[in-house]
Amino acid sequence: MQDVRFRVFSTLLLSVATFVSIPGAVAALIWWLMAGGISTVKTSRYALIFIGIVGLVSLLVEISGGDGLSYFIRMSVILLIAFWAFAHQSPGEFMDLTVWAAGNKRGFELGLVAEVTLQAINSIRDDIDRIKVALTLKDRRSGIRGLLPAAFVLIITHLSRAEDQADLLVVRGYRNGGSWCPAFPKNTRDIAGGIGAILVLLVAFIPIRDIFILLL
Amino acid sequence: MRVVFEDAEVTRERFMIRAAGSFAEGVHLVSGPVGSGKTTLALAATGLRTPKKGKIYMEGIGTFTLSQQFPEYHITGTTLNEEIASWGLKPDHILERTGFNGQGSRDPFSLARGELKRLHLACVLSGNWDLLVLDEPFSGLDCREKKRIAGEIATLKAGIVIIFTHEQTVFPRVDRLWELQEGFLRDLGPVPGSFPDWRGAPPLLRMLLEKGIVPRNLANEDLLEAVCRM
């Protein structure tokens, strides 16, 4: 999905549908498969890690008497949709979206925050790789002994980078708002995907069990 | 002792470097411009990246380490004392050498990047390594500190030292030159015979070679002596 407006819209609808009911989650999963979601998680080890964590929490919920399986299905689908949305993201498109939605003042501010945040998320991957190398060399690969310094380095470096970025923006004359011309690629598949997401949301709210009872 | 690149292809995202050659005991300088793949190759040399094709292996090497370009990634201690101790060293000696005497309880992140690099390099260069890989050891340092580090590298006890750098002004004495050119690692050969083949040679060396003067090595005193021969 190339148009960020359709992607964000679809992501929101699919997330709500998944959260509301299991049929909604299943429908969202089918939508995700049809949108080529597999290719977006195939190479990402993080998807597996996050789903693993959700699995662990679900197991605890199940053991403590809750509906762990339902939680696992819904949260996993939400994560898969999030990975799909993130994989299609490209620099500058949130600026397009927010300026289109809220104009050159508030929209620009929101877009700038979103772009800076996404830039930081993207750089985390490289940071983690470098930290892992350093920990391996000091033979501290696993456990809390490795995790704590890694988290500390990540937080400090990102705070320091944010400070540098803020200084740079001020030096380059940024006060508030700005000028941005949003542009969106035209694609009929995006429209089809958006309509599909609406249908998924409808499935989530339709009491499917009642329909089957009526049919019988 | 040696590190062997056997027709190795190392990749990072869409980037690929091909390397073939053997790093024997001594100081090796791998030169290449920014973005030529030096860091990827440095990681591969220490076994931290697996080649997509070919082999990279170490022979007779027991202890090894890699100094990454940005020292903050190496920090695991919350104080300078802890950080130095994490390298298996006694803090007092390193603190004194780096000018942080009596500041052992200081947070490593409170140091400027140059100071942190100084401390980090002092820790790395104090170890007894069979293989020491230095990725851009001179970046973030002032000229005086670069010269000091170059001098320290020359006196290292390590078996194999591989320096990956785009540095153009300060160098230690090296035994062999390598260059990254268009995705290939080329073994230019021993110094000084390899100087004429060095495409990315520093301006001073290029000027000397154009005048027919070949310095004995790359250290400041060698270049100065060559200049005196003009």
Residue type at B72? E
Q: What is the mean pLDDT of each run of 10 residues along chain A (216 residues)?
A: 93 95 94 91 81 93 91 94 91 94 93 91 87 85 72 88 90 87 90 94 81 62
Distance (Å) from the alpha carbon of B205 to chain A's nearest alpha carbon: 34
Task: Determine whether the interchain pair A134/B78 forms a contact, defined as Cβ–Cβ distance below 8 Å.
Answer: no
Q: Where are the beta strands (DSSP E) in chain B?
A: 2-12, 15-24, 26-31, 53-59, 64-67, 131-135, 160-165, 176-181, 184-190
Average pLDDT, chain B: 92
Q: Is the ipTM of this complex over 0.90?
A: no
More confidently predicted of B164 and A128: B164
The continuous run of DSSP H or E covering A94 comes out as helix A93-102
Residue A106 is classified by DSSP as I
Residues counted in chain A = 216
Cβ distance B121 to B148 under 8 Å?
no
pTM confidence score: 0.79
Percent of chain B with pLDDT over 90: 84
Amino acid letter, B27: V
Q: Does B109 touch chain A (CB under 8 A)?
A: yes
Chain A residues close to B43, C-beta within 8 Å? 133
| Assigned token pair, B133 | 């890989």
- What one-letter code names the amino acid at A45? R
Instruction: Take residue B57 and report the two structure tokens written for it.
Output: 């292996």
What are the tokens at A170? 């001020």
- Find, in chain A, the residue whose alpha carbon is nearest to that of B71: A134
B70 touches chain A (CB under 8 A): yes
Quickly tell me which residue has 């992501």 as its tokens.
Answer: A11
Q: Can you tell me the mean pLDDT for B95-112?
A: 92
Choose the closest CB to A137 out of B65, B75, B77. B65
Residue B109 CB: number of other CB atoms within 10 A? Answer: 16
Q: How far apart are CA A23 and CA A29, in angstroms?
A: 10
Q: Who's near A150: CB < 8 A, 6+ residues apart?
A: A128, A131, A132, A135
Q: What mean pLDDT comes out for the span B116-137?
A: 94
Convert the pLDDT of each residue in B48-100 to its tens digit: 889 999 999 999 999 999 999 999 999 988 899 999 999 999 999 999 999 99
Chain A residues whose CB is inside 8 A of the B87 CB are 138
Facing A140 at nearest CB: one of B72, B76, B109: B76
C-alpha span between A6 and B54 (Å, rounded): 45
Which residues of chain A have a CB within 8 Å of the CB of B76?
134-135, 138, 140, 149
Check CB contact of B168 with chain A, cutoff 8 Å: no
Cα of A93 to nearest chain B Cα, Å:
23
Q: Which residues of B touch A152 (CB under 8 A)?
A: 75, 78
The nearest alpha carbon in chain A to B112 belongs to A160
Residue B167 three-state SS: coil
pLDDT at B186 over 90: yes
What pLDDT is attached to residue A147? 79
Helix or strand (DSSP H, E) at A53: helix A45-63
Pair of tokens at residue A209? 């069990």
